[in-house]
């Protein structure tokens, strides 16, 4: 039998804060702000055409289960994307919260059964090949909420 600790957590399967997504107009300027002000470094950067974002993941801390917590900076790549709409309406700022889970489909199903609208019937591809599902902000106290299953 393995000596590895048995993972525990709430019924939702959500066990950590994966990232806070922040909408910005100029990704490079925002990266520079987080580097200069807090010393956070970019661990990963990519363009996600489906979501219409150029994004950077800045590592805040690692955890003993291999998961980590990031600041995710999001610059829109097109005017009709969710982040572009958000910037137009609210300006720069916190766009969403993302919780980590070992099984994004199971977490989404369980949360959906509690009356929260799950925006993605099937998980989509998120940063660094993670699998992601969004929950409607109007059912989550005004907070756009993402569930993330890391690819590692």
What is the three-class DSSP state of 130? coil
- Measured distance CA(106)–CA(15) in Å, rounded: 13
Does residue 119 belong to the site contacting ligand MC0 (CB under 6 A)? yes
- Choose between 1 and 19: whose C-beta lies nearer to ligand MC0: 19
Q: Of 51, 107, 149, 150, which lies in the binding site for ligand MC0, with binding defined by CB under 6 A?
A: 51
Residues classed as catalytic: 19, 55, 72, 96, 146
- Strands, E assignment, 49-116: 53-62, 68-76, 93-101
Q: Are strands 14-23 and 68-76 parallel, antiparallel or unpaired?
A: parallel
Taking the C-alpha atoms of residue 11 and residue 9, their distance in angstroms, rounded to an integer, is 7
Interface residue with ligand MC0, options 40, 54, 58, 96 (CB under 6 A) = 96
Q: Give me the torsion for CA of 129, 130, 131, 137, rounded to 10°.
A: -120
Q: Annotate each residue in 4-43 with x if it binds ligand MC0 (CB under 6 A) or - if it does not, as one string.
A: -----------------x----------------------
Give contact residues for ligand MC0 (rule: CB under 6 A). 21, 48, 51, 53, 55, 72, 74, 82-83, 85-86, 89, 95-96, 98, 119, 126-127, 132, 134, 136-138, 142, 144, 146
């Amino acid at each position: 039998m393995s000596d590895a600790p048995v993972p525990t957590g709430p019924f939702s399967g959500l066990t950590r804060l994966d990232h806070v997504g922040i909408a910005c107009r100029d990704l490079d300027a925002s990266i520079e702000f987080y580097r200069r002000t807090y010393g956070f470094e970019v661990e990963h950067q990519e363009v996600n055409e489906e979501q219409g974002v150029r994004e950077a993941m800045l590592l805040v801390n690692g955890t003993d289960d291999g998961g980590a917590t990031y600041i995710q900076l999001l610059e829109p790549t097109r005017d009709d994307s969710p982040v572009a709409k958000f910037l137009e309406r609210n300006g720069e700022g916190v766009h969403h919260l993302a919780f980590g889970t070992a099984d994004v489909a199971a977490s989404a199903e369980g949360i959906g059964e509690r009356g929260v609208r799950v925006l993605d019937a099937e998980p989509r591809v998120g940063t660094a090949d993670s699998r992601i599902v969004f929950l409607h902000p109007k059912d989550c106290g005004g907070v756009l909420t993402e569930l993330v299953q890391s690819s590692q």
